[in-house]
Chain A
Amino acid sequence: DGGITQSPKYLFRKEGQNVTLSCEQNLNHDAMYWYRQDPGQGLRLIYYSQIVNDFQKGDIAEGYSVSREKKESFPLTVTSAQKNPTAFYLCASSIIGSGNTIYFGEGSWLTVV
């Protein structure tokens, strides 16, 4: 069954803690992305990667970090430096190249308590 798996679905974090969101895909896609969605708003790009061991900052990378050690995996760490981390986080992947469909995971809800 092909697709993108994100975990956990729901996560609560205390202020000052780092948390890592997992994203795994078995679609054999080279490109992977992390987007943040705030309630009632659009999607903003945090980081993206087009090849293993390489990634670039998106529009709102501050307070986040990523790694791409394997083609299938693109975990996102929300660090304590992220001032307003409560949001819905979406991982996505695609074939590289213009016009290719981006496939999204089911998302992870992060709440800071």
Chain B
Amino acid sequence: GQQVMQIPQYQHVQEGEDFTTYCNSSTTLSNIQWYKQRPGGHPVFLIQLVKSGEVKKQKRLTFQFGEAKKNSSLHITATQTTDVGTYFCADDNAGNMLTFGGGTRLMVKP
């Protein structure tokens, strides 16, 4: 079946540094959704990307969908301790049947 891969698995950054997580698939992605899960919490929807080459911003977060719709990325500018958590991408490939990537766990040192 389809596999969605995320890298890196873990990332430690100093507060104020930038952070990027990448989501890749060997097959064409349908719609990409991004979720954030705080430690001990549950995933919370951040954004959805639908169109090839789409770029969306939410304050310090920038989300991109690749031109070939085989990859996506989430970039955080000037990380803060509130950004700590695990970021998941998920492909909405069968009408809400999400295939999740393994997640990238972000740790921020103050």
Contacts and interface: CB of A to CB of B under 8 A. Distances in A.
B66 interface: no
B96 A31 contact: yes
Instruction: Give chain A's interface secondary structure class.
Output: loop
Contacts of A102: 33, 45, 96, 98
B98 A106 contact: no
B48 A104 contact: no
Given A31-B96, A42-B88, A42-B103, A98 B30 contact: yes
Contacts of A41: 102-103
Interface in A26-75: 31, 40-45, 48, 59
Interface stretch (B14-22, B36-44, B53-61, B68-76): B36-44
A96 B1 CA distance: 22
A59 B43 contact: no
Contacts, number: 55
Contacts of A40: 9, 105
Interface string B66-108: 0000000000000000000000101010111110111101000
Contacts of B48: 99, 101
Q: A-B pairs with the 8 shortest C-beta distances?
A: A42-B102, A104-B42, A43-B100, A42-B100, A98-B95, A101-B45, A107-B42, A104-B43
Interface of A: 31, 40-45, 48, 59, 90, 94, 96-107
22 contacts: A31-B96, A40-B9, A41-B102, A42-B88, A42-B100, A42-B101, A43-B43, A43-B90, A44-B100, A90-B43, A94-B96, A97-B95, A97-B96, A98-B94, A99-B31, A100-B96, A101-B45, A101-B48, A102-B33, A102-B45, A105-B42, A106-B41
